[in-house]
Amino acid sequence: MEVTKFLLGQEFIEKFNYTLIASSVMELFHQGVGLNTTGSVYKTDSGSKLEFSGSPTEKALLSWGVLELNMNFELLKRSSELLHEEAFSSEKKRSGILMKKNGDNTMHMHWKGAAEIIIAMCTHYYDSLGNVKVMEDTERENLNQLVQGMAASSLRCIGFAHKEVYEHELNDGEAQLKENNYTLLGVVGMKDPCRPGVRKAVQDCQRAGVNVKMITGDNVFTAKAIAIECGILRPDQDMDGAVVEGEEFRNYTQVERSSPSDKLLMVKCLKQKRHMVAVTGDGTNDAPAIKEADIGLSMGIQGTEVAKEIARSQLFQI
């Protein structure tokens, strides 16, 4: 997975123009990428090469921050203090932090997550020159359309929002993250291409009579694009009823913006209809569905230990 698009303000910024971004905006991006993360940056034993750890999304963002935005991860950590963290959840689809700069003791809140959710939290946005502009309805609609276009190109869209806060704004001195009146920093689009052989594997399963379903936390536009790329859906297929949200998924091919409970519910519903169900996944959230399935498959290379332990089989070559 890698960052391939960068939306700042109302326009896309090309890599060769990153140096033209205002230093004040770049500093905030460093904070949002480097501090609001569960990943890490470290050097190998030889000390010459940087490595990135974390989920594929976190590694892609950290790699982009360090290699493209010139973010110094260690310096950022040393010069900041994390006061509060809100971990990412599949329900909220975002994570947040409250941090303090050691130099001037200013405090900043940062959120990152599903782009449409982050945009909805914002009343203003930064442009590349560092100006803060009001997000009128026209600008908001344009931003959402740009994000939809990115998602339709099978890009996973992550938004970043920022707000400076002051001591008197905290409730009785407690560090709590409010979720409104933010300024949009920008949106990045990450490409997570299908691995070689996935499309053929899906087609082989379909020819053998297997009904392949995909359950994803991505939005409807990204979900459709990825499903077509993987061969789960056909480009000329009627999408009405093929891609759905919420609990209306029992007879459908694909579910987008799902929660972990949706995966488990789908398995139970299919088994109640006397289907033989196989589930594959790599995350802790996948464990209940993998356990409930007739056949549980975990990803042997990148899967979490919870998913591996609960599965009946592991796919080591995926």
Q: Across all residues in the chain, what is the average pLDDT?
A: 84
| Domain 198-315 CATH class label | alpha beta
CATH 3.40.50.150 at 2-191, yes or no: no
Sign of the Cα torsion 128, 132, 134, 135 reads: positive
Q: What is the pLDDT of residue 218?
A: 79
Give the model's confidence band at 164: pLDDT under 50 very low, under 70 low, under 90 confident, else very high.
very high
Question: Coil, strand, or helix at residue 300?
Answer: coil
Q: Which is more confidently placed, 189 or 47?
A: 189
Q: Are 147 and 89 in contact (CB under 8 A)?
A: no
Of 273 and 45, the structure prediction assigns the larger pLDDT to 273
Assess contact for 108 and 175: CB atoms under 8 A: no
Please give the share of the chain, as a percent, with pLDDT higher than 90.
49
Q: Across-strand partners of 244? A: 255
pLDDT score for 307: 46
Amino acid at 291: K
According to the model, what pLDDT value does residue 175 have? Answer: 52
pLDDT tens per residue, range 28-77: 999 999 999 999 998 877 667 888 998 889 999 999 999 999 999 999 99
Q: What would the two tokens of residue 5 be?
A: 């698009």
Q: How confident is the model at residue 90 (pLDDT cuts 50, 70, 90)?
A: confident
Strand 295-299 versus strand 155-165 pairing type:
unpaired
Angle at 1 between CA 57 and CA 42, to 5 degrees: 65
pLDDT at 217: 76
Would you kindly state where each structural domain of the chain is located, as residue ranges?
2-191, 198-315
How far apart are alpha carbons 24 and 138 in whole angstroms? 26
Interior/surface letters 4-26, b for 16+ CB within 10 angstroms, e for the rest: ebbbbbeeebeeeebeebeeebb
- Chain segment 211-236, per-residue pLDDT in tens: 998 888 777 888 888 899 899 988 88
Say whether 285 sits in a helix, a strand or coil: helix
Top-confidence range, 165-174, 229-238, 240-249? 229-238
At 88, the pLDDT band (50, 70, 90 cuts) reads confident
Lowest model confidence (mean pLDDT) among 96-110, 252-266, 278-292: 252-266
